[in-house]
Amino acid sequence: MSIDKSLKRKAGLTRNRSVLKRTERIKVLQEQEKFPEGRSPFGLPKVRVQKVVLKKAKKEKTEEGDAAKK
């Protein structure tokens, strides 16, 4: 039996998550040199999640495009 199209999620988890998993937090802390070897993985400090904002590129006008309009 299949799922109806109206019940399916279109994008899934393509957006940014605001919470990291424990392994991801440890990796970020190791990059920042704030997680020493031998430390317990429990009770980790909070890690800020950077949101990536992509701006749309503006269309560049070319001489060919200007000539075609005239």
Q: What is the predicted pLDDT for the residue at 49?
A: 84
Please report whether residue 3 resides in a domain.
no
Task: Report pLDDT digits (tens) over 11-59.
Answer: 665 667 788 999 999 999 999 999 998 999 999 998 888 777 777 777 6
Q: Would you say residue 50 lies in a domain?
A: yes
Could you give the C-alpha distances from 32 to 21, 28, 29, in angstroms and in order?
17, 6, 5
Residue 8 lies in a domain: no
What is the count of structural domains for the chain?
1
The answer as to whether 26 is a domain residue is yes
Most confident of 4-8, 37-41, 53-57, 62-66: 37-41
In a domain, 21, yes or no: yes
Q: What residues make up the domain containing 33?
A: 17-58
Q: Please check whether residue 63 lies inside any domain of the structure.
A: no
Domain contains 42: yes
69, two tokens: 């309009």
Look at residue 47 and tell me if it is in a domain: yes
**pLDDT at residue 69, rounded to an integer:** 60
